[in-house]
Amino acid sequence: MLPGSGSDERFIRSVFGFPLAGIGIELVAPPPRRGADVVAGYRHALDAVGPGPVLVGGISLGAHVAARWASTAQPGRVAGLLLALPAWTGAPSDAPAALTASLTAANARAGGVAGAVAAAAGAPSWLTAELGRAWAGYGDSLADALEAAAAEPAPTEAELRCVDVPVGLAALVDDTVHPLAVARRWHGALPRSALVTTTMSAFGADPEALGRATVLAWLRAAIGRHRHGR
């Protein structure tokens, strides 16, 4: 499972560790590379996973990279996908998450990690605390990593249509950075998917809420309860 831009493996564990353990799956959360080759590091981590079939996925940027990787994987390599908070489809263009990452990168270049955290002070307190913790781990490479994330294409609808395995999608109904409309668009393109939603407040109170939603969606897709919430 791969983290979002500026995030890390510790946050992935807090979201997915127990929900996956509850269905007997051990979580593997590789640490991201700190810098401009963050996406290359994600792809390397996916390529290094055993022969499969494997269950892969991630949050935001991590979900993008995992889905694109799965779209070209050898048949039988992927057992399913767990995709939380997809942020855009295809080119980033003016997607809110891409613009936010670019702005945060500019703040980090101007004022370091402390400056980036200070500029995010308007976010919910739990989110500001989590960003400050994770960003500190990137140090001077934070801006490079965020700029790489902001420029990285997500899967196109054509690529998503090639992913013929059960896919669990999760979104927050009130997240303006990762719009629910994007998750719905992915759901419409993926041949075997289910979408489960939760809220920002539930996620803030318990990060596992997002992990549970994603795992539940994957289970529904796996047993055929997919397409438009069936």
For residue 153, is the peptide bond before it cis, meaning its omega torsion is within 30 degrees of 0? no
Residues contacting 215, CB < 8 A, separation 6+: 16, 19, 20, 22, 23, 82, 168
Contact call for residues 103 and 109 (beta carbons, < 8 A): no
Residue 230 has pLDDT above 70, yes or no: no
Express each pLDDT in 64-98 by its tens digit: 999 999 999 988 899 999 999 999 999 999 999 99
Q: Write down the H helix ranges in the chain.
A: 9-21, 38-47, 61-71, 96-119, 125-138, 142-151, 157-161, 180-189, 200-205, 208-222
CA distance 151 to 146: 9
Q: Which domains does the chain have, with CATH numbers?
A: 9-90+154-222 (3.40.50.1820), 96-148 (no CATH)
CA distance 74 to 52: 10
Residue 52 has pLDDT above 80, yes or no: no
Express each pLDDT in 207-219 by its tens digit: 999 999 999 999 9
Find, among 211, 173, 171, 169, the residue nearest to 190 by Cα. Answer: 169
How many C-beta neighbours within 10 Å does residue 87 have?
A: 27
The pLDDT-based confidence of 225 (bands split at 50, 70, 90) is low
pTM here is: 0.95
CA distance 13 to 27: 8
Residue 227 has pLDDT above 80, yes or no: no
